[in-house]
C-alpha cells in the first residue's frame, strides 16, 4: 500500500470518505460492545489522536502499544491481553473491511476460537481452513480464507511470550485439537492490501447503499 502507508497507518486510510477503522468501530458499537483495545505501532500518534478516548464512537477505547515495529497479530494480541481481561474477545484486523454485525460475543464451551471465513479471494486461492458443520479444520475438500475477524479466548495464548509471532500457528494447533468453531461470513468483505482493492472498495462504498452507518 505504499506510498499511502508511508505517512498514514493502514487503519486510517480513507475509504468511502472515512478512515477504514471507523467502520469497525461503528459496527462494534452498534452491536452493543463498549470496550475496545486498539494495537498501535507505525504512525501510532495519528491513531491515538483519531481515536481519543473512544467516546466519539460510543466506545471506551484503550491503546496497546507494540513499540516502533509491529509484533505481528499473535504478538500484538498477546501484549494486549492484560487490557482484554479473562473473557473471550473479538479480534478485528485493522486492514480489512467487512459488513458484519458482531452479534455473537462468546465461545461455546471448550473452544479457544471462532473464525469468520470467506470464499477464497484471488490473492489466496488455496485458502486457509476448512469449515464443516461449524467445525474448523486445517484440511478439507473445500478450503476457505480466514477473514481477519475472530472471537478468541485468552487461553489460546497459554505458554506464549512477549515478542513477535504470528497468530496462525496457534489457530492451527487449536483446530487440530478440535477447539475451533467457525462460520461463513456472508456479507461483503475486502482485504485492503493493494491500491486496486482499495479503489474497488472505494467504488462500492460510494455507490452502494449497503455501506455501514457513520459512527454516532
CA atoms within 13 A on the CB side of 61: 25
Domain count for the chain, please give it. Answer: 1
pLDDT at 2: 57
Q: Is residue 98 a part of any domain in this protein? A: yes
The pLDDT of residue 207 is above 80: no
Q: Is the pTM of this model over 0.75?
A: yes
Give the pairing type, strands 143-152 and 129-132: antiparallel
Query: Residue range 148-164: average pLDDT?
Result: 97
Query: Residue range 93-100: average pLDDT?
Result: 93
Q: Is residue 212 a part of any domain in this protein? A: no
Q: Is residue 213 a part of any domain in this protein? A: no
The pLDDT of residue 216 is above 70: no
The CATH number covering residue 15 comes to 3.90.550.10
Give the pairing type, strands 96-98 and 129-132: unpaired
Give the position of cell 487490557.
Answer: 83
pLDDT at 4: 62
Query: Rounded to 5 degrees, what are φ and ψ at 60?
Result: -105, 115
Q: Is residue 41 a part of any domain in this protein? A: yes
Query: Residue range 12-40: average pLDDT?
Result: 94
d(CA 201, CA 206): 9
Q: Is residue 216 a part of any domain in this protein? A: no
The pLDDT of residue 96 is above 90: yes
Amino acid at each position: 500500500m505504499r506510498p499511502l502507508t508511508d505517512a498514514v497507518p493502514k487503519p486510517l486510510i480513507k475509504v468511502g470518505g472515512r478512515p477504514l477503522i471507523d467502520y469497525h468501530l461503528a459496527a462494534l458499537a452498534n452491536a452493543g460492545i463498549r470496550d475496545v483495545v486498539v494495537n498501535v505501532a507505525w504512525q501510532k500518534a495519528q491513531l491515538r489522536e483519531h481515536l481519543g478516548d473512544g467516546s466519539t464512537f460510543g466506545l471506551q477505547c484503550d491503546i496497546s502499544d507494540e513499540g516502533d515495529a509491529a509484533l505481528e497479530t499473535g504478538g500484538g494480541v498477546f501484549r494486549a491481553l492484560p487490557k482484554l481481561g479473562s473473557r473471550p474477545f473479538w479480534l478485528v484486523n485493522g486492514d480489512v473491511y467487512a459488513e458484519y454485525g458482531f452479534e455473537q460475543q462468546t465461545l461455546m464451551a471448550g473452544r479457544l476460537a471462532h473464525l469468520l471465513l470467506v470464499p477464497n479471494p484471488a490473492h489466496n486461492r488455496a485458502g486457509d481452513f476448512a469449515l464443516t458443520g461449524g467445525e474448523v479444520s486445517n484440511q478439507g475438500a473445500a478450503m476457505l480464507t480466514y477473514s481477519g475477524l475472530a472471537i478468541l479466548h485468552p487461553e489460546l495464548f497459554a505458554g506464549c511470550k512477549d515478542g513477535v509471532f504470528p497468530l496462525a500457528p496457534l489457530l492451527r494447533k487449536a483446530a487440530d485439537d478440535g477447539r475451533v468453531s467457525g462460520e461463513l461470513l456472508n456479507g461483503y468483505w475486502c482485504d485492503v492490501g493493494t491500491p486496486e482493492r482499495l479503489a474497488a472498495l472505494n467504488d462500492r462504498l460510494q455507490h452502494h447503499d449497503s455501506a455501514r452507518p457513520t459512527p454516532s
